[in-house]
Structure 1
Amino acid sequence: MARVNLELPDVFTFSTHLTVRVSDINYGNHLGNDRMISLLHEARLRYLHDHDFSEFNIGGVGLMVTDIVVSFVSESFVADRLTFKVGITDFNKYGCDFVYLVVNESQNKVVAKAKTGIVFFDFDERRISRVPPVFYERCAPDVTPVTE
Structure 2
Amino acid sequence: MARIQLQLPDKFLYETEIAIRISDLNYGGHLGHDTLLTLLQETRVNFYRTLGIKDELSLEGTVGQVIADVGVQYKSEVFFGDTLMVQLGVADIHKFGFDMVYRVTQKTSGKDVAIAKTGIVCFDYATRKIAPVPASLFSKINP
CA displacement, residues 69-125 of structure 1 (integer Å, 9 cap, x when unaligned) = 011000000011001100111011100000000010011101000000011111011
Q: What root-mean-square deviation, in Å, do the aligned CA atoms of Structure 1 and Structure 2 show?
A: 0.9
- Counterpart amino acid of 1:2? A
Q: CA deviation at 1:36?
A: 0.5
Q: Equivalent residue for 1:145?
A: none
Moved over 6 A (4+): none
Q: CA deviation at 1:128?
A: 0.5
Report the counterpart of residue 130 of structure 2 in structure 1.
Answer: 128
Alignment partner, residue 116 of structure 2: 114
Inter-partner Cα distance in structure 2 for 1:12 and 1:94: 21
TM-score, scaled relative to structure 1:
0.92
Instruction: Determine the C-alpha separation between the residues in 2 that align with 1:52 and 1:17.
Output: 20
- Hey, what does 2:14 align to over in structure 1? 14
Q: What's the offset of the Cα at 1:63?
A: 0.6
Q: Work out whether 1:103 is the aligned partner of 2:105.
A: yes
For the 8 Å contact 1:120–1:129, the answer to whether it is kept is yes
1:52 is aligned to 2:49: no
Aligned to 1:73: 75
Q: Partner amino acid for 1:7?
A: Q
Question: How many residues are paired up?
Answer: 141
Contact 1:51 1:139 in 2 (8 A): no
- What stretches of structure 2 of length at least 5 have no aligned partner? none
* Mapped partners of 1:132, 1:67: distance in 2: 20
SS across alignment from 2:39? helix
* 1:42 matched to 2:37: no
* Percent identity of paired positions between Structure 1 and Structure 2: 41
TM-score after normalising by structure 2: 0.95
- 2:91 aligned residue: 89
